Amino acid sequence: MIEGMTCASCVARVEKAIRAVPGVTEASVNFATERADVHFAAPANLDAIATAIRTAGYTPVTESIELAITGMTCASCVSRLERVLKKQPGVIAASVNLATERANVSYLSGAVTVEALEQAVGRAGFGAQPLETAEQASAVHRHAAEARKLTQSFVIALVLTLPLVILAMAPEFFAPLQHFVDAAIGLETLRIIECVLATLVLFGPGWRFFAKGVPALLHGGPDMNALVALGSFAAWSYSVVATFAPQLFPAGTAHVYFEAAAVIVTLILLGRVLEVGAKGRAGAAIERLLDLTPETAQVMRNGAPVEVKLAAIVPGDLVFIRPGERVPLDGEVVEGVSFVDQSMLTGEAQPVRKSIGEEVVGGTINTSGSLTVKVTKIGADTVLARIVKMVEQAQGAKLPIQALADKVTAWFVPAVMGIAAVTFVIWLVLGPQPSFTYALVTMVAVLIIACPCAMGLATPTSIMVATGRAAELGILFRQGAALQNLRDVGIIAFDKTGTLTKGHPELTDFSVAAGFKEDEVLAAAAAVEMHSEHPIGKAIVAAAKTRKLALPTIADFEATSGFGVTARAGDRMIVLGADRFMAKRGVDVTPFADLAAGLARDGKSPLFIAIGGSLAGVFAVADPIKPSAVRAIAALKAQGLTCAMVSGDRQATAEAIGRRLGIEKVVAEVLPEGKVAAVETLRAGAKKLAFVGDGINDAPALAAADVGIAVGTGTDIAIESADVVLMSGELDAVVAAVALSHATMRNIAQNLFWAFGYNVVLIPVAAGALYPAFGILLSPMLGAGAMAFSSVFVVTNALRLKRFRAA
């Protein structure tokens, strides 16, 4: 489909652009359906066509779909499946994630069907279904079912392998057993028994390796299954020939390796069981989030609560929530007062008071009083659903660091097969007698020791665990790449209002003159300001309400714009305003002049009050700094980061706030449209810049920064423009996000080091590199155990991130 066409001339222009693409023989564009029918003389180059359409000034419509993939076992599966999907006509990009078992496919609208994609995946030897269908089966249940099947296969393999190992190896260490076997069974019968047991293991529980590996080999994309199938089959087939046709071998070389073939399969099945269980735990964060929503809710019907399934609830319904129950859906409190535990949302353990008119979020816990809530959002529109979607998108993302692993794994398995073949030839030609036996053992060891799984799991598993843990802390990585980019940030710029400060003025300082009482002066000021719309006046009124003061009745209210207000309370005139307004009214403010000057230096707005012609006191109103802001700035500076503040305040006021926060770089008097320019100025010379903001006017700066961090108490547009969302308004979460980024990248580096280092070191050992000097050969069985351990190590190391705590 093509967007942007408005008339027939547009059609002609698009057709001309498409026909100019090499290989196109004919192009016909339908204005009504907005579709193009294109014929090719050569293989279709849809990317070139899409580029041509864009160059002509129109937009080729693209769609994307997420597929749940089954049957993947290693990184080679990922690269092969990506190649298969990218070859499909119309597919622009395909990204497959081994850890989440999902494929994200972008394609030109109308160029390919979902069914065609599923069929292509099926021909490659995997299973696929659209995620909307797949989501009906929980990911944890799917992992549990897979773990059960693997466990059953492993138990069967173990039961068959143990007697095989005892029969084959124990006689070498226990002479009486050797005599018993020779006398009671005989060598030929013993080998037949071993053959039967090994055959049952390979073509029973081990059949999964052949079912996946052989098609992959035939399609030219061998994977780990192919390595296991080749290695175990080579050992088994050699042993079968040595058992039933020993005359084909030179004297003394007809050895059997049935136990090696069986142990290889059994150990790798054990590794798979452990790996699937660990992967299930790694991805359990989303399942825990989904479990936060109850299946039913008490909906008010005819004045009484009735239990209703969540799917039947619509916006506007009134839901009754008892103490201890979870809030079922997002809504607004219409009756009752309670404290709500929002820790699943913000990471903060302290319950928050909720009363009439305030919003509650589905999944949070009502801890004390009963609430009646009017439902405002359901389904995918709820905060919890959006959180789940953000976490899923971040978990499915590929970090830039993964590009290296992807490039290596693309050629890894073919390279291993080549090394195995060369190893076999070298041992066959140059090895000691029986050279064929040595050649077979080393070749099988090379095939089995290699582990592309570990390389494929190194990055995505860490991302899964880290983003899940972040969600538990109230930090949502909307873009997975932000995990890596945040590690490289050198400067963090903060918007002031609503980010570093609470976003609304409060009474911060209050002093009264001799002969006056605090409550008397505050009540008088609030009574006058009740008639004012100025934010400073509202702050004074709010302070009086907090103290529950009785306000006097006033008359003759008058406001002088930009100066102050006056009113009469009984027989006394009350005057509130700045120093110049007080001077105009004949009130001497000298007693509070020094105090007022100090308040102004701190970025606060001093306001004087006179009652009955006498100076009664001085107020200071300011947008107060969040308690967490000072802590967060100090912690970030301790990590070596430079902190900056962007504000629309006057330079002197902004610098005063900067001093209180410990921020040296202050960019003041910035209009909303100038924040992007401020970001670019601050970024000069820094590695990368992160911007933290919360308002609509912060959205361009959030998008322009290398990493945009939105405070979740802000606006939706700011959140949608950011890479990272802090669900609470506290800035300690910024420190936690940076620390988690560093921890995740260290974890990924450890995984990649292990995965690559393991193969670099052990493949040569398996090939026999240590034999000439030390006489050491690596048994295929030990290779199978090491290979299984490699994947388990990587996943287990990633799981350490579940215990992450910000310092």
Query: Rounded to 5 degrees, what are φ and ψ at 391?
Result: -65, -40
Other Cβ atoms less than 10 A from the Cβ of 796: the count is 16
Q: Tell me if 692 sits within 8 A of 492, measured CB to CB.
A: yes
d(CA 685, CA 437): 63
Kindly list the distances between the CA atom of residue 51 and the CA atoms of 30, 95, 167, 608, in Å, as whole numbers in the listed order.
19, 21, 67, 66
d(CA 741, CA 485): 8
d(CA 271, CA 77): 17
Q: Tell me if 21 sits within 8 A of 49, measured CB to CB.
A: yes
495 is catalytic: yes
Other Cβ atoms less than 10 A from the Cβ of 681: the count is 14
Cα 314 → chain centroid: 30
DSSP state letter for 591 = G
Amino acid at 258: F
Annotate 515-528 with b (16+ C-beta within 10 A) or e (fewer): ebeeeebbbbbbbb
d(CA 269, CA 252): 33
Helix (H, G, I), strand (E, B) or coil at 558: strand
Closest by Cα among 796, 801, 804 to 274 = 796
Task: Specify burial of residue 674 (Cβ count, 10 A radius: 0-12, 13-18, 19+).
Answer: middle
Helix (H, G, I), strand (E, B) or coil at 544: helix
Helix (H) or strand (E) holding 748: helix 732-767
Closest by Cα among 188, 299, 204 to 254 = 188
DSSP state letter for 380 = G
Other Cβ atoms less than 10 A from the Cβ of 314: the count is 9
CA dihedral sign of residues 610, 611, 616, 617: negative
d(CA 424, CA 418): 10
d(CA 310, CA 363): 12
In the numeric block, the tokens 């509650």 are attached to 360
Per the residue annotation, which of 223, 330, 341, 495 is the catalytic one?
A: 495
DSSP state letter for 274 = H
Task: Specify burial of residue 115 (Cβ count, 10 A radius: 0-12, 13-18, 19+).
Answer: exposed
In the numeric block, the tokens 């119309």 are attached to 90
Catalytic residues: 495
